[in-house]
Amino acid sequence: MPLCFVFWMGSNKLNLNTLFFTILHTEMKMLLNNKSYGKNIFFLSLLIMITPNNFFGLYPYIFTTSSHMVFTLSLAGPIWAAPVFYHLFFKLRFMIAHFIPNGTSYMLMSFIACAEIISFSIRPLTLAIRLATNMIAGHLLLSLLSTQGFNSFNYGVKSLILITQILLFTLELGVSIVQAYVFSILSLLYL
């Protein structure tokens, strides 16, 4: 009878994926209320969508979609705009109250409100630029280093460039995951 349970158990790969998604789910649940389960799933799926897009850019001669400003702005813009329009139409006082911190003197209120409105308005732009520039910078560094390796005639230099490129590639794998995580978490925090 105990042998039957071995056949019903999932594979190690499935257990690892479940652990990964459980950790991400609890991390995002800490940032949100316990009532907003749908938002959590949305931002988790956003992370899952951006990560492979970042990975595809690591292949040679492929310019990934997450390096295009059109793609990143089309993700960041609606995610930012939907709650803003909701608060404008249904919770206007709540939204305006966040533009002036508590304890601000009357002399500084107009300046602080203008600065807060500007910083609030450029959030999707900074989010999109952050993802696109980080993806472009890493892929550009990898491609420049690979062309130098092919142009070199010295085998010692070629091997050094190859080792450096392997290290940069593993670093870019990590950066791809971190950038997808940062994009989804900041989108979640901007609600």
For the segment 163-176, what is each residue's pLDDT rounded down to a tens digit? Answer: 888 888 888 888 88
The better pLDDT of the pair 123, 41 is held by: 123
Average pLDDT value for residue range 1-23: 60
For the cut 80, the answer to whether the pLDDT of residue 73 exceeds it is: yes
95-124 confidence digits (pLDDT tens) = 777 788 788 788 888 888 888 888 888 888
Confidence at residue 1, expressed as pLDDT on a 0 to 100 scale: 47
Integer Cα distance of 66 and 72 in angstroms: 6
For the cut 70, the answer to whether the pLDDT of residue 17 exceeds it is: no
Integer Cα distance of 46 and 79 in angstroms: 10
149 pLDDT band, cuts 50/70/90, is low
For the cut 60, the answer to whether the pLDDT of residue 2 exceeds it is: no
Specify the amino acid at residue 100: I
The better pLDDT of the pair 141, 19 is held by: 141
Specify the amino acid at residue 185: I
Integer Cα distance of 158 and 165 in angstroms: 10
* Average pLDDT for the chain: 79
Integer Cα distance of 72 and 94 in angstroms: 28
Confidence at residue 47, expressed as pLDDT on a 0 to 100 scale: 84
Which of 71, 53, 172 has its CA nearest to residue 124? 71
User: Following DSSP, what letter does each residue of the chain receive, concatenated?
Assistant: -HHHHHHHSPPHHHHHHHHHHHHHHHHHHHHS-TT-HHHHHHHHHHHHHHHHHHHHTTSTT---GGGSHHHHHHHHHHHHHHHHHHHHHH-HHHHHHTTS-TT--TTTHHHHHHHHHHHHHTHHHHHHHHHHHHHHHHHHHHHHHHHHHHH---HHHHHHHHHHHHHHHHHHHHHHHHHHHHHHHHHHHT-
Q: What percent of the chain has pLDDT over 70?
A: 82
